[in-house]
Amino acid sequence: MKILALDCSTEMCSAALWIDGAVEQHLELAGQRHSERLLPMVSSLLAAAGIGLRGLDAVAVATGPGTFTGLRIAVSVGQGLAFGADLPVVPVGSLEALAAGAGAPWVMACLDARMDQVYFAAYHRVEGGLEEVTAPALAAPEHLPALPAGSEWTGAGNGFDRFAPRLACAWPGLARWIPEVVPEARHVASIAAVRMAMGRSQMPDQLLPLYVRDRVALTAAER
């Protein structure tokens, strides 16, 4: 199985090529340059592997939540490549990819959503992948729900970089947190491979960003 995976959900930009369990990835801090960097990454990966787009089995995309512009770039590029090569697509949540990169059995994934809020979701590592415990949602750090009881939770993501003291108050049961973990295309690819094996793919026109919220900035009065 050969899967091309894309992620632009944070300031990092990454593309990965998954071939029967072996994965190669390009990852870099792109800032606002995802649209400039993503396709060259894809071209480099395919050229190195000696594979054309039509030699792939699917295109996987981190659909969100995350930066609005980044999500739109990843989804549009993924759709364009899949349409052009007549491939199915596999959507993967950015927070799930983040949790996969944390490498812990119980993970509270948390990304800075700007506007003094965070995107968050909870996952449990089980045989064959991750099980969603709390669906992706949005809240201010002071209004987060309590951690699900009974497990030793690891916090992961840049939400813990910006809001660490406030998140520690909201989630006092966290055993540790690792703010440096980001969603990466290699984890998008591994999750997508499991879904492909289960027949869980889509047509490219069904691929949509998962924004979670529909506002990109505070009003002047709110600021």
Residue 22 forms part of a structural domain: yes
Q: 65 and 38 share a domain?
A: yes
Q: 10 and 46 share a domain?
A: yes
Q: Taking Cα atoms as reference points, which of 6, 2, 4 lies closest to residue 19?
A: 2
Q: 78 and 28 share a domain?
A: yes
Residue 139 forms part of a structural domain: yes
Residue 53 forms part of a structural domain: yes
Residue 216 forms part of a structural domain: no
Q: 7 and 86 share a domain?
A: yes
Q: 187 and 167 share a domain?
A: no
Among the three residues 139, 159, 178, which one is the final residue of a domain in this structure?
Answer: 178
- What is the per-residue pLDDT for 219? 47
Mean pLDDT (the chain, rounded): 94
Residue 34 forms part of a structural domain: yes
**CATH number, domain at 148?**
3.30.420.40
- What is the per-residue pLDDT for 150? 82
Q: 53 and 105 share a domain?
A: no
- What is the per-residue pLDDT for 216? 54
Q: Taking Cα atoms as reference points, which of 41, 68, 19, 32 lies closest to residue 184?
A: 41
pLDDT digits (tens, 9 = 90+) for 165-184: 999 999 998 999 999 999 99
Residue 220 forms part of a structural domain: no
Q: What percent of the chain has pLDDT over 90?
A: 92
Q: 193 and 172 share a domain?
A: no
Q: 108 and 69 share a domain?
A: no
Query: What total of structural domains would you count in the chain?
Result: 2
pLDDT digits (tens, 9 = 90+) for 71-94: 999 999 999 999 999 999 999 999
Residue 10 forms part of a structural domain: yes
Q: Indicate if the pLDDT at residue 8 is higher than 50.
A: yes
Q: How far apart are CA 95 and CA 116, in angstroms?
A: 18
Residue range of the domain that includes 28: 2-94+182-206
pLDDT digits (tens, 9 = 90+) for 110-160: 999 999 999 999 999 999 899 999 999 999 999 999 998 888 999 999 999
Q: 7 and 88 share a domain?
A: yes
Q: How confident is the model at residue 213 (pLDDT cuts 50, 70, 90)?
A: confident
Q: 7 and 66 share a domain?
A: yes
Q: Indicate if the pLDDT at residue 217 is higher than 80.
A: no
Q: 105 and 75 share a domain?
A: no
- What is the per-residue pLDDT for 215? 58
Q: 111 and 168 share a domain?
A: yes
Q: How confident is the model at residue 222 (pLDDT cuts 50, 70, 90)?
A: very low
Average pLDDT over residues 57-70: 97
Residue 83 forms part of a structural domain: yes
- What is the per-residue pLDDT for 220? 46
- What is the per-residue pLDDT for 62? 98
